[in-house]
Amino acid sequence: MSLKKTTINDVAAQAGVSVTTVSMVLSGKGRISSVTSERVHEAIELLGYVPNRSATMLRGGGSGAVGLIVRDLCTPFYAEMIAGLSDALEQQGKLLVLAQSGAEGHQLQRSFDMLVAQGVEGIVLAGGVEGAGELSLRAQELGVAMVCASRASTLEELDAIRPDNMQAAKMATEYLIKRGHRAIAWLGGSAGSVTRAERVGGYCSTLMQHGLPLRSEWVIECADQQRDAAERAHTLLQHHPAITAVLCYNAAVAMGCYFGAQRAGRRIGGEVSAASLALVGFGDAPEAELTDPPLTFITSSAREIGRNAAIRLLRRIQDPLEPVQNVIVPARLVERLSA
């Protein structure tokens, strides 16, 4: 009969503190009161907890692990970003540990605590998630380096490697205007998304620059799911048949819009007309080439973002006092036949 091994989570529960606090007590880093520290040590002794030796070595700064937190590991963009990040880290003898925070970032704190418990030297925070400001402060207290990748970061104290969302949206809108479109709608993203705000800002400013109509009922929120996007696209086109082009927040929304437009009786691509609809998405995905016609995208290299994030994090680990940098990865057009 085997006994269940005591974990750092058990110690945290027994002491009534967070996993991060236990890690800080074990590593001797951060500002922990003597009362809290004593409570943690009492829990350790009571439960017979033995700290992970390799994790302790990692916290000491030797060859070790780097953590990555994303919303959804299955997202094609993040899969590509992970490949670039992992390649760059492996060249420096580092191991990448993955954590998933969930669609709404509800598991962000848990993911952070898990990575800290594993003894990572640094963490790459990817995707638009709430609570990043608090995590940044806790990472500083722990001496764990952190950078943001592929998100519209508003945290001035963290390095950020991200796409130029506004430039990408301007590029996409200009592309459609030059092809003769005058009634261009927006589909996707949530109101709280900074990435969406930047892209919608680029879309709106370009329309205004060209004197084209900007109608609030043509700017639609929806979940990052094909089914929801298809339903919203179908309703939008049924109510506003004058629309001849749609900009889509990401690849999933673009795919959903593709099916919703077909359901509404629209032909994808071709000349500007009431019977056709041009689609341009942000991001890109392998299945975008399988639709008929293939979908046009405005994208920033996910692998390049991953490589830049690795380089920036490794430098941050080596020199915690180095000035914060904001690395912008430019967008490019992947022209296909949907627009």
CATH topology of domain 165-299: Rossmann fold (3.40.50)
Q: What is the pLDDT along the chain (339 residues), one digit of tens a residue?
A: 345 667 888 888 999 998 878 877 876 666 788 889 889 989 988 888 866 544 554 444 444 789 999 988 887 788 889 999 999 999 888 899 999 988 666 788 889 988 988 888 899 998 765 667 788 888 888 888 999 997 666 677 889 998 899 999 999 999 999 999 999 999 999 988 888 999 999 999 999 999 998 999 999 999 989 999 999 999 999 999 999 999 999 999 999 999 999 999 999 999 999 999 999 999 877 778 889 999 999 998 889 999 999 999 999 999 988 999 989 999 999 999 999
**Would 64-163+303-330 and 165-299 be classified into the same CATH topology?**
yes
Angle at which helix 226-239 crosses helix 251-263, to 10 degrees, equals 50
Tens of pLDDT along 276-309?
999 999 987 777 888 999 999 999 888 999 999 9
Q: Which CATH architecture has domain 1-51?
A: Orthogonal Bundle (1.10)
Full-prediction pTM beyond 0.85? no
Tens of pLDDT along 206-229?
999 999 989 999 999 999 899 999
> So where are the chain's domains?
1-51, 64-163+303-330, 165-299
Among 3.60.15.10, 2.40.420.20, 3.10.20.310, 3.40.50.2300, what is the CATH number of 64-163+303-330? 3.40.50.2300
